[in-house]
Each structure stands twice: as C-alpha cells, then as structure tokens.
C-alpha cells in the first residue's frame, strides 16, 4: 500500500475494511504462485490495481455511480471490490477458483455489490456492464486477437479500459495509473455507438 493512497483514501472507512478483510480471507494464498501452476498459459502475470487507481479510472470514465464495472481477470478482487465500495456494482471473471471463492466471501462480509465467477476470460461469456477493465497484459498474439474480437462484439457505447495494451478501437483518453508493479498506461475506449 502506497503512502499517497493512504493520504488520499485513509479517511474512508470502506478502504480500511477492504484492506483488513482481503489479507484475512487470502491468508495462505500467495498471488503469483498460483499462476505458475499453469506454465502453458500466456496470460498469468499477477499484479493488482490499487483502489486509488480504480477511483481515478472511474472518474475519468465519466460514468455515474450505479454503472457496472467488469473486471476481466479479477485476481483477489481488489479492483472490483474497490469499484463496488465507490458505488459501482461490480463483477469479476477469474480463472482460479481459489481467488473467486475468497473474493465472494470478502464481498459478502463487507456487504458489497460485487460478485465473482470462475471462468476463462478468453472463451467464457462476460457479465454485462458499462465498463470492462482488463489489467492482465502478458497476453500472447493469439489471445490478443481473440480478445479483440470479444471487445468488438460488446454492445455499442460500452467502455473498455486496458493497461499497457493499445486497441484498434475509438480511443477516448490515455493516462498513467499507479499499479502494484509501477505505473501502467491506462487507455480508455468506447465501442462504436
């Protein structure tokens, strides 16, 4: 957790509750280790998007609270749980059931409008939402092609935000966001309306 995040969000009760609940429910799970159990996959880098960056993304998106935030590859659920804490109902799709089960437990304990489902973000159906967030960046060429087709198939006007991946979609805005491994270029797109 960074000092600037503490300074910006430390006065919010939801932020403390989230940062106490996550380590408690994820005790014994080492993010980054699970991913190595699938060496054949090209997309299993681990890192997290801190709450402060989720708040910035939501502000830049212009979406009002109530809009649905979808995290494709939700990991421990930090991004989706942060969005839910800020008033944006969230859903996460995640490959590892170990994450999904615990993220759902955190959401239930904190009474947050966030839900997590086990699935493959490349092939399985995506939840419906207004903003789709993709923070996994270690995708190979073939996976990127498949994901691009999925983005193009989203309903008109849906927003897509990626980290360190430029898409051939209508670009709205690009800005840097702090993530757990440094800064990432976040790019926000709108599907054709």
Ligand X SMILES: C[S@@+](CC[C@H](N)C(=O)[O-])C[C@H]1O[C@@H](n2cnc3c(N)ncnc32)[C@H](O)[C@@H]1O
Nearest distance, CB of residue 171 and ligand X, angstroms: 21
Q: Which residue is listed with tokens 């702090």?
A: 178
Which residue, 38 or 192, has its beta carbon nearer to ligand X?
38
Alpha carbon distance 171, 64 (integer Å) = 20
DSSP secondary structure letter of residue 63: P
Among candidate residues 105, 10, 7, 5, the one with its CA nearest the CA of residue 51: 5
Which residue's CB comes closest to ligand X?
A: 73
Minimum distance from residue 14 beta carbon to ligand X (Å): 17
Output 13 or 123, the one with its CB closest to ligand X: 123
The least CB distance from residue 193 to ligand X, in Å, is: 26
Angle 78-85/51-61 helices, nearest 10 degrees? 60
Least distance to ligand X from the beta carbon of 170, Å?
23
Cβ-contact 146, 122 below 8 angstroms: yes
For residues 115, 174, 177, 6, the Cα torsion angle rounded to the nearest 10 degrees is -80
* Contact in structure between 101 and 81 (CB atoms under 8 Å): no
User: Whole-number minimum distance, CB 124 to ligand X, in Å?
Assistant: 8
Q: Of 164 and 192, which CB lies nearer to ligand X in the complex structure?
A: 164
Closer CB to ligand X, 8 or 45, in the complex: 45
**Nearer of residues 17 and 150 to ligand X, judged by Cβ:** 150
Residues β-bridged to residue 190:
159, 170
User: Which residues in this chain contact ligand X in the complex, by CB under 6 A?
Assistant: 35, 43-49, 71, 73-75, 78-79, 93-96, 99, 120-122, 135-136
């Amino acid at each position: 957790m960074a000092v600037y995040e503490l300074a910006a969000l430390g006065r919010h009760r939801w932020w403390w509750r989230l940062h106490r609940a996550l380590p408690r429910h994820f005790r014994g799970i080492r993010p980054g280790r699970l991913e190595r159990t699938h060496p054949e996959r090209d997309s299993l880098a681990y890192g997290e998007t801190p709450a402060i960056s989720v708040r910035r993304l939501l502000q830049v998106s212009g979406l009002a609270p109530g809009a649905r935030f979808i995290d494709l590859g939700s990991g421990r659920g930090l991004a989706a749980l942060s969005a839910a804490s800020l008033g944006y109902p969230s859903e996460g799709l995640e490959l590892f059931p170990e994450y999904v089960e615990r993220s759902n437990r955190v959401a239930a304990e904190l009474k947050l409008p966030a839900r997590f489902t086990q699935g493959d973000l490349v092939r399985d159906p995506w939840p419906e939402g207004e903003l789709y967030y993709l923070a996994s960046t270690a995708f190979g060429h073939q996976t990127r092609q498949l994901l691009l087709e999925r983005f193009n198939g989203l309903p008109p006007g849906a927003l897509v935000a990626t980290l360190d991946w430029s898409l051939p979609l209508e670009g709205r805005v690009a800005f840097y966001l702090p993530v757990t491994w440094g800064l990432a270029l976040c790019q926000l797109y709108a599907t054709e309306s």
